[in-house]
Structure 1
Amino acid sequence: MTDGQEQPTTEQAHPMDEHTIAEVERAGTQFNAVTAMTVDRADALTAESIDRRDSGQPPRRLEGVPFAIKDVIDLVGYPTTMGSAVRSDAPATASAPVVDRLEAAGAIPVAKTNCQEYSYGILGEESAFGRVINPVDPALCTAGSSSGSAALVAANAVPLALGTDTAGSVRVPAACQGVFGFKPTFGVVPVDGVFPLSPAFDTVGLFASDLGVLTTAFDVIAGAGSEAHAAAGVPDGSASGIGRTIDVSLLGDRANRALDLLAEVPNLTITSANGPTLGELLDDLAPIYDFIRLYEAYEVHKDLFAERAADYQPGVAKKIEAGRDLGEAEYRKQLDALAELRERSLSVFGATDFLLTPALDGPVVRWDEIDSGSAAKFMRYSMPFNVLGWPALTIPLPGAGVGNGAGVGNGNGVGTGASSGPRAVQLVGRPGGDRDLLAFASRLG
């Protein structure tokens, strides 16, 4: 793992070349991960980057770093397909602020990525473009909804990609495909220009193969909002691990391998003292999430759904329909319950700085083993932190199944049908403590 404060390497700071585009296109085809190559935009920004370099200007923070964009996020000049046949193919007239900010820092968009239709589903099995293929092992579920963004990073085609996370749609695909996946504190990163699923929980997140690049990208897309949170009294542990406490109570019998990550952190207290409180929170969260998400998703789609219900993917249509008869009065009550729960839950951090949890409730499931309980197991440890709004990072663990995107057997589970699949944990921090969490993560393992 690299230092969370690290800037892009010299190699990354050089403008992108044609080989990068070719590799993204190859991986996009091999893993069904790309809905559109954004070559015109990439070429224009690469030329700008070269001009800056040749005129002696210093490199920007993400100079020449290629990135991919989940296709629910607007990029000017390209349609936003939402992984759906129910869409307009008119090009976006402006980019989402998160894209603008990355471009302003020198990053170069190379592709829009395949995703679960309208981000509505954690398994990633329904898209008008077909489902994404897991670069680690084609037999393994990719998870969703940001499947294609995770796959391009897992295949080493790009070092960075944007996704969205409403119940785990960045962190769960990251866990299933063996890469880093970060969901910032709710509200820190703008969601303008991003098609909503449930605005009470929607968050733009990041995939990366390197934690230093992810940290730099977070600073870029969070902008002034992140600075405000950082100034609000959130502890800063970036200098050392001294005096930090981490709660591992939710790891259960999975603790041994995960605790290897913590072995080298100095003066770290490992505790399970908050176990009952955390368990109670998990049980309290789900009903609130279910009602609000169903209600808001139906409100987002109701007009279009009334006209074109038959054109939605079957599972997505069923989810939208489930929100039809939910009343506004009960919705308002659930929002009040959500606000109360978010306030009450902060007591967890009275005795700890971070939580370490499983990323998934069980192993990465194979496509042919998905059943009615698979989605709940995928979301068990991710969805609560959308509800609470806390920052959370999926950290891949070393071992079988962590791939390099080669698509051939190489002894570490890539393309071999490895049954174990990737393994990952989730690191969770205080709301507003995004930088602190990422800095602490850079010292693990």
Structure 2
Amino acid sequence: MSADLNLFITEETIEGDSEAVGALADATVAVKDNISTAGIRTTCGSEMLADYVPPYSATVVDRLTAAGATVVGKTNMDEFGMGTTTETSAFGPTRNPADPERVPGGSSGGSAAAVAAGEADIALGSDTGGSVRCPAAFCGVVGIKPTYGLVSRYGLVAYANSLEQIGPIASTVEEAAAALDVIAGHDPNDGTTRDLSEVDGAAPDSSYAAAADGDVDGLTVGVPTELFDGADERVVETVEAAIDDLEARGAETTEISLPSVEHAVQAYYVIAMAEASSNLARFDGVRYGHRSDGDGNWNESFAETREAFGAEVKRRILLGTYALSAGYHDKYYEKAQDARAWVRQDFEDAFADVDVIASPTMPVLPFELGESLDDPLRMYLADANTTPVNLANLPAVSVPAGEADGLPVGLQLVGPKFGEETVIRAASAVEER
């Protein structure tokens, strides 16, 4: 099955602690191939790192294996996390277990597909603009994007530092939440992680798995019209039915407005591409990764080395470099940061009145293989509902809402900062439908 769907780039095992007890004892975990694993190659889905073997493991990997989980392989992904379909991988596209002629979503498509296909109990992905939630929705599984700072990024190969978070994918909300219990927490190796005992309103001793109790009585659910406008009617109908079911279980729903999200995709891609341009400058053929065999001058060797990047990565580096260049920084990058502040404020205002915000995770059904490759703009616009969450650094869950024409549809639930328990509780109620 895994070979037919092209789920893994590398299938090697890291044994979990055999003495461990608890929710993850004897669980199997698939790890996205941009998360470092000591002694096992970590390619980021790119020819640039096709032979790179890290000398250390990411904090999240160490925490999972210490909890008894066994890593079963490194999953396929869009190259350096840049894509929405897992088709930009240098190792070929991953296929969706729900329909092998369709994409699994991206960039963590291999991770979500591995869980959906039963090849792993849990998977780790990384979410920069929806890359855990999108494939979770397309594959019919659960994906959690934590609040920025809840989970260590140490050992994650950076795409856009201010946006991305590692998050768990699983078949059920409780399983995903149990994995989050293990990987969450302050890490001295990552200065962006937060000590929750010092965060106002956070619950440092919370159990995310225990929050998956389905109790939504009295919960207020905000429904933003902007995140439904333009979505496929079949998706809207399925998601609205799931929201109606939350209401039947005791939740209250209210229509809200998030006017800033109209500009979120544009702001997100300017910021993400600018950060990618800076981060990927390190791949110069000098320190690690692919190196040109050319014997010309340094500039020629540098250019030849970077030919190892795929087309989508080159596109984003070029656009990010342009946005940061003299004369354009103020016009594009600073305006994008202003839009990001507006998005944050809109969410803060909304959470003064509601507990969670509900929308379709993806506004479309899974693309057919090859359908979006020749139209990058279409691929970017598909992230319209997920990117605002990353701009605002909030927690969100994608949970299966049902099917449309036999294809999975995801419901996205967004919470205030460090409000993971609330969105997990709401997601578990949806799951019980």
User: Which category describes the TM-score, using the shorter chain as reference length?
Assistant: 0.7 to 0.9
Counterparts of 2:216 and 2:41, CA distance in 1: 45
**Cα distance change, pair 231–439 in 1 and its aligned pair in 2 (3 A):** farther
Q: Map residues 12-411 of structure 1 onto 2, 5 A cutoff.
A: 27-39=1-13, 41-42=14-15, 45=16, 48-49=17-18, 52=19, 59-87=21-49, 89-224=51-186, 228=196, 232-233=200-201, 238=211, 240-250=215-225, 251=228, 256-262=237-243, 263=245, 266-272=249-255, 274=256, 277-278=257-258, 280-304=259-283, 306-307=302-303, 308-327=305-324, 330=330, 331=333, 334-335=336-337, 338-339=340-341, 341-370=343-372, 372=375, 373-399=377-403
- Inter-CA distance 380–174: structure 2 relative to 1 (3 Å threshold): same
Indicate if the aligned counterparts of 1:245 and 1:270 stay in contact, CA closer than 8 A: yes
Structure 2 letter corresponding to 1:322:
L
Question: 2:219 is aligned with what amino acid?
Answer: R
| TM-aligned CA distance change 1:345 to 1:249, over 3 Å | closer
Is the helix fraction higher in 1 or 2? Answer: 1
RMSD of equivalent CA atoms: 2.6
Paired AA for residue 195 in structure 1: V
Partner of 2:291: none
**Cα 1:384–1:341, aligned 2, differ >3 Å: closer, same or farther?**
closer
Instruction: State how far apart, in whole Å, the 2-side matches of 1:134 and 1:88 are.
Output: 24
Q: In the TM superposition, what whole-angstrom CA distance separates every residue of 1:250-282 from its partner, at most 9, and x where no partner exists? A: 34665553344352664311111x1xx31x121
Give the TM-score normalised by the residue count of structure 2.
0.82
**Displacement after TM superposition at 1:228 (Å):** 1.1
Aligned CA distance change for structure 1 residues 285 and 257 (closer, same or farther; 3 Å): closer
* TM-aligned CA distance change 1:326 to 1:378, over 3 Å: closer
Query: Is contact 2:239-2:359 (8 Å) kept?
Result: no
Q: Does the aligned pair in 2 maintain the 1:364–1:420 contact within 8 Å?
A: no
State the identity as a percent. 30
Question: How much has 1:35 moved relative to structure 2?
Answer: 1.2
Name the CA distance, whole Å, in 2 between partners of 1:29 and 1:139: 15
Kindly provide the CA deviation profile for residues 404-437 of structure 1, in whole angstroms up to 9, marking residues without a partner as x: xxxxxxxxxxxxxxx6521221111111101221
Report if aligned partners of 1:248, 1:255 keep a CA contact under 8 Å in 2: no
CA contact (8 A) 1:67 1:107 kept: yes
The aligned residue for residue 296 of structure 2 is: none
Q: Secondary structure at the match of 1:399?
A: strand
Query: 8 Å contact 1:143–1:172 — kept in the other structure?
Result: yes
AA aligned to 1:258 is V
Residue 283 of structure 2 aligns to a residue whose secondary structure is: helix
Code of the aligned partner of 2:309? Y
Shift of 1:340: 5.5
The residue type equivalent to 1:293 in the other structure is A
SS at match of 2:72: strand
Which residue number corresponds to residue 24 of structure 1? none
Structure 1: gaps (5+ residues)? 1-26, 53-57, 401-418
CA contact (8 A) 1:119 1:146 kept: yes
The one-letter code sitting in structure 1 at the alignment partner of 2:133 is: R
Equivalent position to 1:437, from 420, 423, 432: 423
Contact 1:172 1:378 in 2 (8 A): no
5+ residue gaps, structure 2, are: 187-192, 285-301
Q: Distance in 2 between matches of 1:269 and 1:243?
A: 6
Q: State the Cα distance separating 1:339 from its structure 2 match.
A: 4.1
Distance 2:346 2:412 in 1: 22
Partners of 1:378 and 1:70 in 2: how far apart? 22
Q: Does 1:427 align with 2:389?
A: no
Distance in 2 (alpha carbons) for counterparts of 1:133 and 1:114: 10
Q: 1:174 Cα deviation (Å)? A: 1.1
**2-structure distance, mates of 1:83, 1:338:** 29
Tell me the alpha carbon deviations over residues 332-385 of structure 1, each in whole angstroms, 9 at most, x when there is no partner.
664465345424530011221111101112222212433524313420111111
**Residues paired across the two proteins, number:** 385
User: Using a 3 Å threshold, how does the CA distance of structure 1 residues 131 and 230 change in structure 2: closer, same or farther?
Assistant: farther
